[in-house]
Structure 1
Amino acid sequence: MRIGLFGGSFSPIHMGHLAVGALVKDFANLDKVAYLPVGVHTEKIRLLPKEHRVNMVKLAIEDNPDFDICLYEVERETYSYTYETLKALSTQHPDWELYFIIGSDILPQIPRKWYQGKQLLSEFKFLVFGRSSQSQIARVIARDPQLKNFQHNLIPVPMRFSFNISSTLIREQVQQGRTIRYLVPWKVEEYIYRHNLYQDGSE
């Protein structure tokens, strides 16, 4: 099976995450896109409890059979580096052909800052989306001395739409008492208000 893994905090998951998942699945002919919420975050001290983030992802994808959720990282007690996660999932599911879905703005950090970043780029395939065109992303990769050696594993995804939605924006909207209608699925919106999320400044 061709599986696209889409990692993130998903605090909360929003329409941009879902639209990117659908477009990437279609472009790469994936069997599934699995959303991979982080369990413990190395930088976000006030990260919303994983139970809420998992519940919101489940609500957001429940009506789409092309989407799934991968609980590997949230079920661990300690932080799981992406390299460790992909290695473990490859071992557990030898029938999976894994593709890691990532934004072009984050890609340059992988060989420079991520744990085992060069090994990660060498051993796994990446579907790279962004605001730039497919050819522009390819040129950025080719010109980056830390990325160009891994071009064979870096697949630019054409995005004809711009999704200027962020989880940070949504949290701020909630804290300010402003609407988040149509920024998140309505079941996620309902869940946020029912559980009074983000009012304490959590991320």
Structure 2
Amino acid sequence: MPVFYRTAKPTLTPIGLNHGDALRFTLSDGREWEIELVSTSAKVTARNYAAHRYNDSGHEGGDISAYAFYCDISINGRKLSLCREVGTQKSFYEPAEVDGVRIWFDAASCAFKDSGGFMAEKDWRSGLICKPSQHARFALQESTRSICPEPLHMWYPNKSRRLDIADCYNGEDCWMGPYNGAGAHGGLDINMPAGTV
């Protein structure tokens, strides 16, 4: 089993793992925290893209309006399953928190066509790739730290102070797509009021 080593820092720590890989994460108090990736899977959860009445002929099209990917992991010897939905309000999820570490499950390669899945890459011609190089991609952070060492604030008028999937392009296209019903999109498009600067 390959084992990788990282040390907690003030910002997020990204890590890609293959099945059977482990990461030993040293926390600021010297404790060691370990995650092992056991398995990954993905499935389409909704097929109704035509309801958006939009088709971009310059990109691959399809009928996917939402999908999800899953992983089974072991953290400090305890089994845990994570799911990430894409194209629904649940796309804007709070991270799991286990033994003092926040875990964001960002992507699973099995969702992509070239790994047996169903999603294409929207922006591959520009070199922007969403698919992780390993079976799964995570971001980790000590739960005692702020999400960012710098102050964060809204960059556009938003009275609710939260992201809404309905405001993401056609109402489905958040980070990782499904753009045009088929493509993982490496961006977060927020529909803003006209004149927003």
Q: Which structure has more helix as a fraction of its residues?
A: 1
TM-score, normalisation: structure 2? 0.24
TM-score, normalisation: structure 1? 0.24
